[in-house]
Structure 1
Amino acid sequence: MKLAVFISALLLSLSAAAQTDVDPRTQRRLVVLAPHLVESLFAIGAGDQIIATTDHSDFPAQASSIPRVGNYARLQIEQILALRPDAVVAWRSGNPADDLQRLEKYKINVVYTQADNLQDVASELRMLGKLTGREKQAENIANDYLYRLHALKARYSKAEGVSVFYELWARPLRTVAGNSWLQQQIALCGGDNIYADIEEGYPQVSLENVLDLRPQVIIQPTTHGDNQPETINWQQWPEIPAVNHGFILHPDADKVHRMTTRMLDEIEAMCVQLDKARQFYAQDSDLTQP
């Protein structure tokens, strides 16, 4: 009998010791305010720590069942407060600043993120790994991402240019420029954006000007969501080289627009397609831009 009591006490002691070894960061309850942050947290194995998120957080599939507490324009402050999260993970340029300030006034721990450059995805992964006690997983994924990114840069960024127009939005017609996220992707593949010199990241342009500039490649991303935006039917202008020679690319917007490792799959495919266009136009100088 005494032996049984001793063994029971020993097991309870071992169980308590094991519980103290659990990293408390892996138990943090998080409200995550951007689809790309949700995706990255799932990638490092911390998806089950997300207790609420915002609209359009739909990858991986499990993310679709997470409760929503707002969108890019407005957060539901009362609902977030009621959840009593250990931290709110915010996207500095993608969430309403006034709402984030309100959360801070209520003593909510707001953790800010901001990926401005392609390589920043790795830094963001490492930060999320530290936040959730998953440094090893995050470090492995970040290193793999940087290896692939540098390989693409080494292969394509110094290649001979091919002129590109990126149709971000049709009405009004908007494109990408400056040092925007999508412009960096074009440059990585060795593309020459016809509006790269504009400082504004996502400027409005005229259709007439695009026709005059006659891009060799048109990038027209597509989305698989319910609200498919209206796009331009470029086949109306066969005089554009991109139309005449069939170089209209349709990358997955959910991949290229989000700051995640999944983006590289689509960029790699885009680089290959731009390289095919580059080789095609190089075959005959009459096909190149004047």
Structure 2
Amino acid sequence: MKSCRRLFLGVLLACCVAWLFPPQAAAEPPEAQPSPRYPARIVTLAPSLTEIVYALDRGELLVGASTYSDFPAVAKSLPRVGSYARPDLERIVALRPDCCLAVAGMTPPEAISRLQDLGVAVHVLDTASLEAVLASILKIGRLLDASDRAASLVGDMRQTIERVARERDNGPRPAVLYQIGFAPMHAACRGTFINELLELAGGRNVCAAMQGYPQLTNEQAVAFRPEVILIPTMGTDAFDAAKAQWNAWPEVPAVRQGRIFFLDSDLFDRPGPRLTQGLEELVRLLRQPPTPAAGKQP
């Protein structure tokens, strides 16, 4: 009888303990961290950046772009926010962007600082060299959740660069002047991505001893005795005037041999996805033989 009573009391005590101290539920795994928030509203402060965003198939995120953002054609319909040198901060803020994309050395630092003070995130991209351009495309890809597309695009561009370098003639390199503007005249020199393109295409930059985009006097330009003169788009009238000016110096090899060429500036002056198209165009032009008709575009 006593043993039964002890058994009953033991069971009753166990039930009380279980009721008072229920077993702890197994710890739930930590919640997955939310994925990074990608911007949904973007303003680009240079045409090259507009082209990059579209090349990454993220054009639907654009709510504004700088003046002259005209490629692809759909970009022409975007609201304008001023030029890369003079962005319209009031218009930018009115578009309520999640972020702006800017170019180091082009977008004024004071404009960047002011936008940041107004609560607009600004991502500044380096485009001073070919490698920097490729790295900036990858960076924008990460920012816009388009890393795979960016890697594919950069891979294609690298393949073109490597092919051109592999097929380059090891013979003499023609002396090239890349002329920017007419009055005054500037040139693309050492430390620029255009200089890299010229060298990759098989040319020798006549002003490689100079840095950046210096202004040249007519006397300096003639003294370089370029064998090829490349003039990016300045409008037909301006190009004709520049060519007429060069024709006044028939002792310059490029004038005598008819190797003054008019370029589509968008392929060269916009450090973006179409730079490799510009590279292939340079290869074509530098391989053009001399012609008796001075300054004639092939």
In the TM superposition, what are the counterparts of 1:1-290 in structure 2 within 5 Å? 25=38, 28-156=40-168, 159-199=171-211, 201-223=212-234, 231-233=242-244, 234-277=246-289
TM score, norm. by length of structure 2: 0.79
Aligned length: 257
Note the C-alpha offset of 1:22.
10
Alignment partners' CA distance in 1, 2:50 and 2:267:
13
Q: Does the 8 Å contact 1:157/1:187 carry over to 2?
A: no
| TM-score where L is the length of structure 1 | 0.81
SS in 2 for 1:236: coil
2: distance between equivalents of 1:162 and 1:117?
Answer: 22
Deviation at 1:263, TM superposition (A): 2.0
Instruction: Classify the secondary structure of the residue corresponding to 1:250.
Output: strand
How much has 1:114 moved relative to structure 2? 1.1
Q: Structure 2 vs 1, CA of residues 225 and 211 (structure 1 numbering), >3 Å: closer, same or farther?
A: closer
CA displacement 1:190-245 (0-9 Å, x = unmatched):
2112111013x111122123223321111112256999896342223222211111
Note the C-alpha offset of 1:156.
Answer: 2.5
Unaligned runs of 5+ in 1: 1-20, 282-290
Deviates more, 1:233-242 or 1:222-231: 222-231
8 Å CA contact 1:219, 1:250 repeated in 2: yes
Percent identical among aligned pairs is 30
User: Distance in 2 between the 1:141 and 1:195 partners?
Assistant: 32
Query: Paired residue for 1:8?
Result: none
Task: Give the Cα–Cα distance (whole angstroms) in 2 for the partners of residues 226 and 52 of structure 1.
Answer: 31
Structure 1 residues 175 and 157: CA distance shift in structure 2, 3 A: farther
Whole-Å separation in 2 of the counterparts to 1:229 and 1:75: 32
SS of the residue aligned with 2:247? helix
Taking the aligned partners of 1:273 and 1:75, their CA distance within structure 2 comes to 36
Q: Quote the Cα distance in structure 2 between the aligned partners of 1:225 and 1:73.
A: 24
Q: Name the Cα RMSD after superposition.
A: 2.6
Question: Which amino acid in the other structure matches residue 160 of structure 1?
Answer: P
After superposition, the C-alpha distances for 1:64-83 in whole angstroms (9 at most, x for unaligned) are: 11001121232222222222
- Which amino acid in the other structure matches residue 263 of structure 2? P
CA distance in 1, matches of 2:91, 2:97: 11
- Do the aligned partners of 1:177 and 1:198 also contact (CA within 8 Å) in 2? yes
Greater Rg over alpha carbons, structure? 2
Aligned amino acid, residue 133 of structure 1? D
Offset of residue 29 of structure 1: 0.6
The residue type paired with residue 82 of structure 1 is: A
The gaps in structure 2 that reach 5 residues or longer are 1-33, 292-298
Task: Provide runs of 4+ in structure 1 moved above 6 Å.
Answer: 224-229
2:83 & 2:256 partners in 1: Cα distance?
Answer: 40
Shift of 1:34: 0.7
Distance 1:114 1:267 in 2: 20
Separation (CA, whole Å) in 2 of partners of 1:190 and 1:86: 43
CA 1:63/1:236 → structure 2, altered by over 3 Å: closer, same or farther? same
Give, in whole Å, the separation in 2 of the partners of 1:228 and 1:273: 17
